[in-house]
Amino acid sequence: MAVAKGQLRADVAQIEPDLVAWRRHLHQHPELSFQEHETTAFIEATLKGFGPLEVSRPTKTGVVARLVGPKPGPVVAIRADIDALPIQEENSFPFRSENPGAMHACGHDGHTTMLLGAAKVLAAHRDRLHGEVRFIFQHAEEQLPGGAEELVQSGVMDGVDRVIGAHMEPGLPVGTFALKAGAVTAAPDSFTIVIMGLGGHAADPHRAVDPVAIGVQVVSNLQMIVARNTDPQQSLVLSVTRFTAGTADNIIPGSVELGGTVRSFNPEVRQGIPGLMERIVRGVTEAHGASYQFRYLHGYRPVINDQTVTALVRKTLDETFGAQAVVEGAPLMAGEDFSAYQTKAPGCFYQVGSGNVAEGITYPLHHPRFTLDEAALPVGVLAFVSCISDWLKMEEGA
């Protein structure tokens, strides 16, 4: 018989003060992608205090802990991202960021805390595990090429049978979850376009080749890819988010630079976008006597949840929290490098409700006033440990 959910609830409730303390420490000391040195040291030291964990540093700022049970069984990995965003925090609570220009505005402090909590609870039940749990604390989710790929290449997923991960969601109330099989997050690609014209005096535009006017046409025509070149049943976003030009009101610049992002789920759609974009840029610039440079950067793969693993997660969440606590998720156009782990093992990435309207905890991810309801932390821990209990046959009294 698996460990009773009541016992796991009691174990999680007992460490709630730790969860709050860990989360506030992490929130107060955020570090940007590939710079998470103090964060990694804190995680490593905390894990080593839990007892029977094999803790390693496969990358400079990533930590992996292995919990190997005494009996054979599957190997399950749980992943949390640990990096912060380059945002100046605008919250006023005592544990706000002490690092100027860095903030945990995407809930990674919560993700890290939940995984630490799961490691502590499960380490106390090591003798009941049939198999192995790998706790992956991943650096650099927020910046390409991402830390997941680096960790996968280091071998952290070797022998793993399934992988799960979770993300805080302020749009869901505490105590609820959202998950779905299939496409969950999009491939977040980016692009840069430089249009070279001929600068001159703004009073004599006929003597110049105006890259600003040409750039405006490029932006407008790029929207035709979504409107007229893509099957309307295929989700696609193409957003120009940068347009840099000029130094003075009376000078036509010699060049402009455009940049933005493309989001898609379908690999075939994704593959065709760069060619369509460059065809439009080439046509518009040639029509007006300008030239161009075009660079397209492929980002993370889309996160595609495995049908079987997602069904197992849903079953555990239903039994642990009640079916009313679990809602069907919707595909998100945001990007996530959790997809790198799914190239090695089937996995499920789901959302944990962290919002609280009554407390004003409603700001979206990546907002300078984002925060999370700390009551979500034990909920997330219980979800992790319940999945492990169900899958690794943690036996009562073993």
Q: Which residues are catalytic?
A: 83, 141
Element at 264 (helix H, strand E): strand 255-264
Q: Under DSSP, is residue 104 helix (H, G, I), strand (E, B) or coil? A: coil
Q: Pick from 23, 56, 67, 26: which is nearest to 151 by CA? A: 56
27, 181, 347 from 264: Cα distances, Å = 32, 17, 20
* Nearest-angstrom CA–CA distance, 37 and 389: 32
- The values of phi and psi at residue 49, to 5°, are -85, -5
**Encoded amino acid at 94, one letter:** P
**Encoded amino acid at 46, one letter:** T
Q: Under DSSP, is residue 383 helix (H, G, I), strand (E, B) or coil? A: helix
DSSP for 272-324 reads HHHHHHHHHHHHHHHHTT-EEEEEEE--PPPEEE-HHHHHHHHHHHHHHH-GG
For residues 4 and 395, the answer to whether their CB atoms sit within 8 Å is no
β-strands 200-201, 291-297: how paired? unpaired
